[in-house]
Amino acid sequence: MTETNVAVVPGGTGSVGRELVPKLIDRGFKVATTYLIPDEATALEEQLDLDEDRLILRRVDCTDATAVDSFFDEAADSFGPINVMASLVGGWAGGRDVAETDDVRLDRMLDLNLRTAWNCARAAIPKMADDWGRVVLMGSKHAQDSPAGQAAYNVAKAGVLALAKSVAIELLDTNTTCNALLPSVINTDATRAALPYADYVNWPQPAEIADVINFLASRESKVVNGAFLPVWGSAVI
């Protein structure tokens, strides 16, 4: 017998989200997710073929705090208190050392990676269920090893880790945990196109990342809190 729980997955139509959302649905969750690219939303909608009593898809710019708040309000009003919030919105831009990085690139990395996680965590926390809750944020291996040529991205993802730790500590007296994942470059069509000469054989697959989130999105993961989980396998970048 499956229990009915609620998951909110900002960015759930991306490569990892497309693997994660069906897993949550199979476990009996009601899921609300955001998208920006209509074709991605259509593909997920057709794949799952669910009514809005099980799946809500909304086009939301998660850098916009007001839009995020409205989306979380709708999710909670429609489905009830949130058990799982997995923020999957993010993006990468490299090729610039610090001295060569302009404000536009810096702001884009901070907005796309850190501000989106901040907006989603802040909106989710007051709506988390009393009995159990899980917040999962997407950090990066590069937040810790900080390779050259992508400082803006590294800094933004380091901020996500600080956010995850802060949330975990702030919620110690509740039944909600918060953890962050540390993937390397994930093996997707987009990253292979952006890095055409890289050795992608050992990059983690989206489905592998989704499997880890799926475990964190469970009652059984309650002893994991404030952790930065390495999910880069044997990848070295």
Domain chopping of the chain, boundaries: 6-230
**68 vs 206, which has greater pLDDT?**
68
pLDDT of residue 1: 38
Instruction: Tell me the pLDDT band of 40, cut-offs 50, 70 and 90.
Output: very high
Query: What percent of the chain clears pLDDT 90, i.e. is strictly above it?
Result: 79
CATH of domain 6-230: 3.40.50.720
**Closest listed residue to residue 86, CA positions, set 149, 148, 24:** 24
Report in angstroms the alpha-carbon separations of 140 from 92, 105, 145. 10, 18, 9
Q: Answer yes or no: is pLDDT of 83 > 70.
A: yes
Rg (alpha carbons) of the chain, rounded to whole number: 17
Instruction: Tell me the pLDDT band of 98, cut-offs 50, 70 and 90.
Output: very high
**84 vs 144, which has greater pLDDT?**
84
Q: Provide mean pLDDT across the span 91-102.
A: 85
pLDDT of residue 185: 75
- The 10s digit of each residue's pLDDT in 103-133 is 999 999 999 999 999 999 999 999 999 999 9
pLDDT of residue 94: 74
Instruction: Tell me the pLDDT band of 192, cut-offs 50, 70 and 90.
Output: low
Instruction: Tell me the pLDDT band of 187, cut-offs 50, 70 and 90.
Output: low
What is the 3-class SS of 108-176, one letter each residue?
HHHHHHHHHHHHHHHHHHHHECCCCEEEEEECCCHHHHCCCCEHHHHHHHHHHHHHHHHHHHHCCCCCE
Q: Provide mean pLDDT across the span 154-163.
A: 97
Q: Provide mean pLDDT across the span 24-33.
A: 97
Mean of pLDDT over the chain? 91
